Each structure stands twice: as C-alpha cells, then as structure tokens.
Structure 1
C-alpha cells in the first residue's frame, strides 16, 4: 500500500510529556514531507495553536482542530466548520454555571472563560493548555452568561473542568438529556468537551482527505486518546502510541513507542522508509 497522508494527534502523540517536540520527530516529519506525504494535525486544540505547531514543523497543510469542528489552513476561510449555535452556547453556559466547574469557550480567535478556580490536585492532567500562542487572547469573566448576553458567541468547542467526579457526572447527565444537538466527550474523569452533533476527529479528517482526493486506506493515523479510536480504525494504517490506553492499542493495526520515546519517528522509519517519493510512484502509476 502507498500511503499519501500522515495524520497526527498532538498532545500525547506529537508532543512529549513536557509539551515539547523531539528533534527526532521533527526530522522524521521532514523526511515524510520530502517524500511528498501530506502531513496534517488532528487535535482538540484550537486552530491557532495547531497552526503554530505546524509552522514549527514546516507544514503547509489544512489542520483538523477543535476536535474536528474547525478544518482549515487559514483563520478566515475554513474548509469545514460545525459550531454550537449562539443559543446552544448560551444555554449550555446557563446550565453549567449551576455546577462547580471552570468553563472555557474555545473559539478560533480567542478563548472566553469564567473565573472559577478548580483545585489543582482534583483536576490533575485535565487542566487547560497553558501553551497558547501569545497572539491568542484569553479572557476571564465573572459570569459567562452575562458576557454572552452582551456578545453572543458561536463556539466550535467548549471545555469544562469540574471540582470532582460527582459534579462531572451530574452535569453530563443533564446535558445529554437536555441538548440533543450536542456531543459530549469525556476526556478525563473530571473534564468534558462539548461540540456540535456530528463533530469528531475522524469526520474532520475525512472531510480533509476527500477534499484532497486521498482515500481512507492511503492514510496513516497516529493517536493516543479515546477520541482517536475511530480515526485509527478507519485509516489504512491506524497506529496507537505506546503511552495510549489499552482500548486505543486494541483498536490499532500497530503500536509504536511512547511519545517520550520518539514513537512517531519509529513509525515513519518502519513504514515510510521503503516507500518511494510520491511523485515517482505517480509517474509509474503505482497504487
């Protein structure tokens, strides 16, 4: 099989545990680019964060961001977007403000959150990313509901961190029953991610691949999280990181090393080194 696309999750996959890129990963991705492979990022992060990482890797790509809700190479003209409406965003906030939680509306241009502080030892690794670009405005307000009444927002994604598991479960139950058009993703025992119905990483990836004329079987997809499972299952070669949970590894065709052990570089070495440059393969009409 000739692979034409490499799709990479970011946190826990592309980045090491310390949030940095390994030099071996950069070199391996550059190797793929020189072979004509289309490399993209598929992430829950906001668009500007993904684009910043893409520039560090010298990618010229369309990125699948906000968990699949915003697929674009530029901030102004997305290839695809599926947002929570103004009314849905406002109503979600109205419900969530009854719980002990920190709410973040993740827009492609800015982030808007309430000032609620959640104890660090309870939230643990569920805390929001702090590596946002300096040009990405992050604003905190006392009442998100009041702020949205003044300036309504259509949100690609909302992140919510709760004080404890019980609060998270109660809020999740309410949202699932009251908001038919919202998909609820549990990314940790105390964190929910809220997107519009139909939004997923795999849906965003296949919007992109169809746009580029790349078949699902020509994609290598690498991830480490539960919301990467369907992307891994549907790709031609689905790869789980060594640090991924058992369920993700079970879904994968291949398990690589962990993100701290240059797992992406290892995949590329094993599966791309024998593949000729795509331009050459296309000339000789190899599928």
Structure 2
C-alpha cells in the first residue's frame, strides 16, 4: 500500500514523558517529508502550542488542533473553525462551577481559566513564553463566570480537569442531556474536553483529507490517547504507541515502541523506507 499522509498525536506520541522531542523523532519526520508524505499533527492542544511543536519538526502543513475544532497552517488563515457560542459557553461554565474542577476556555489565541490548583511557578512560565513568536496568553481568574459576564468568549474548546472519574462521568452525562450544541470527549487523567457538535480529531482529519484528495487507505495514524481511538480504527494503517492503553493497542493494525523508546522513529523507518517518493510514483503513473 502507498501511504500519502502521516497523522501524529503530540502528547505521549511525538513527545517523550519529559516533554521533549528526541533527535531520532525529528529525523524520522524529516525523512517522511522528503518522501513527499503529508505530515500533520492531530491534537487536543491549542493551535499555538501545536504550531511550536510543528516548527521544531520543520513542518509547515495544516494542523488539526483543539480536538478538530481548529484546522490551520497559519493562525489568521484557518481552513476550518468551529466554536461554542457565547451563550452556551456561559451556561456550561455556570453548570461546571458546581463541581470541584478547573475549567479552561481554550481559544486559539488565549486561555482563560479559574485558579484551582494553579502551580506557584505557572505565571512566571507564561511570562517567559510571551517573547516567543507564537506567544499564547493564559489568564487565571477567581471567577470564570464573572469574567464571561464582563468579556464573553466563543472558544473552539472547553477543557475541564476533574479530581475524579465519578464527577467526570456525572458531568458528561448531564452536559449531554442539557446541550445539543456540543460534543464531550473523555481524555486521559480525568480530563473532559467539550467541543462544538460535529468536531473531533477524526472529523478534522477527514476535512483535511478531502481538501488534499487523500483517501482513507492512504493515511497512517499514530496515537496513544483515548481520543485517538476513532482515528486509529479509521486510518488505512492505525498505529498504537507502546505506552498506549490495552484497548487502543487491540484496535490498532500495528504497535510500535513507546514514546520514550522512539516509537515514532521506529515505525516511520520501518514502513516508509521502501516506499518510493510520491513525485516519482506520480511520474510512473502509479498514483494520481
């Protein structure tokens, strides 16, 4: 099979547990790009954060971010944006503030969150980031609801960090019954991600594939999280990282090494080293 797209999750996949990109991973991505493979990042992260990772990998392609709600290669020129409208955002926050959780309104340009369990060194961290070309403002307030009354927000994603899975399950069930405009995606570590109805990592990749005229069987997806399951099951070649859950591994076509063992590098070199460059295959009329 000839593969034309490589889709990659970031956390637990590209990045090691220490948050860094290994040199071998960077080289593997450069190798795939040199073959003419379209490489994209598919993540729950905001666009600015994903763009920094893409820059380190020397990628200038469209990124599927905010759980598929924001797809773009440039901040000001998105090809797909879905948002939770201001009134719904307000009502969701009012409901969630009854739980012991941290609520983050994740806009593509900034995040606004309540101050629950804020590490003491966090503010300093973001002051340093402001000098970055892809700076991203993060504001923490005492009352998120009061902030929304003052400044309404229509974010592509709301991220909620619960203390336990019981609260997460209860909140998810209630939100599903109360709001038809949203979709709730359960992620790792008691995280619930709320996106506009119709948004998901899979929907974002489908939209991108349609624009690039890439078929399902031509896509390789490498992931490690709960929210990667649908994409791994859909892709022509679904690959689970060695550090992924048992459920994800059972759904994958192939299992690579863990993120701390250069699993992405190992998989890319194994599967793409024998594939001829895309331009050569087109000249030989083997693909269109």
Match of 1:272 in 2: 272
Change (3 A) 1:140 1:81: same
Gaps of 5+ in 2: 120-124
What is the rounded CA distance, in whole Å, between the counterparts of 1:136 and 1:187 in structure 2? 23
Change (3 A) 1:37 1:147: same
- Alignment check: 8 A CA contact 1:4 1:37 kept: yes
What is the rounded CA distance, in whole Å, between the counterparts of 2:232 and 2:98 in structure 1? 37
**Where in structure 2 are the equivalents of 1:42-121 lying within 5 Å?**
42-117=42-117
1:13-46 Cα offsets, whole Å, 9 max, x none, are 0101111001110001111111111111000000
- Alignment check: 8 A CA contact 2:157 2:193 kept: yes
1:220, CA displacement in angstroms?
0.7
What is the rounded CA distance, in whole Å, between the counterparts of 1:267 and 1:191 in structure 2? 28
Give the SS at the match of 1:249. helix
**Where in structure 2 are the equivalents of 1:10-25 lying within 5 Å?**
10-25=10-25
1:147-167 Cα offsets, whole Å, 9 max, x none, are 111211111111111233333
Q: TM-score, normalised by structure 1?
A: 0.93
- Alignment check: 8 A CA contact 2:64 2:72 kept: yes
1:141, CA displacement in angstroms?
1.0
Q: TM-score, normalised by structure 2?
A: 0.92
What is the rounded CA distance, in whole Å, between the counterparts of 1:189 and 1:23 in structure 2? 28
Aligned residues: 279
Change (3 A) 1:42 1:161: same
Correspondence 1:222 to 2:216: no
- Alignment check: 8 A CA contact 1:168 1:189 kept: no
- Alignment check: 8 A CA contact 1:118 1:162 kept: no
Change (3 A) 1:118 1:141: closer
**Where in structure 2 are the equivalents of 1:151-166 lying within 5 Å?**
151-166=151-166
Change (3 A) 1:188 1:268: closer
What is the rounded CA distance, in whole Å, between the counterparts of 2:163 and 2:229 in structure 1? 27
**Where in structure 2 are the equivalents of 1:241-280 lying within 5 Å?**
241-280=241-280
Match of 2:235 in 1: 235
Say what the alpha-carbon RMSD is for the aligned residues: 1.9
**Where in structure 2 are the equivalents of 1:199-214 lying within 5 Å?**
199-214=199-214
1:237, CA displacement in angstroms?
0.8
Correspondence 1:33 to 2:33: yes
What is the rounded CA distance, in whole Å, between the counterparts of 1:86 and 1:225 in structure 2? 29
What is the rounded CA distance, in whole Å, between the counterparts of 1:244 and 1:133 in structure 2? 30
Deviates most, 87-96 or 183-192: 183-192
Q: Which runs of 4+ in 1 moved over 6 A?
A: none
- Alignment check: 8 A CA contact 2:103 2:161 kept: yes
What is the rounded CA distance, in whole Å, between the counterparts of 1:118 and 1:165 in structure 2? 20
Give the SS at the match of 1:103. strand
1:166-202 Cα offsets, whole Å, 9 max, x none, are 3333322321221122111221363211111111101
Give the SS at the match of 1:220. strand
Match of 1:142 in 2: 142
Match of 2:122 in 1: none
Give the SS at the match of 2:187. strand
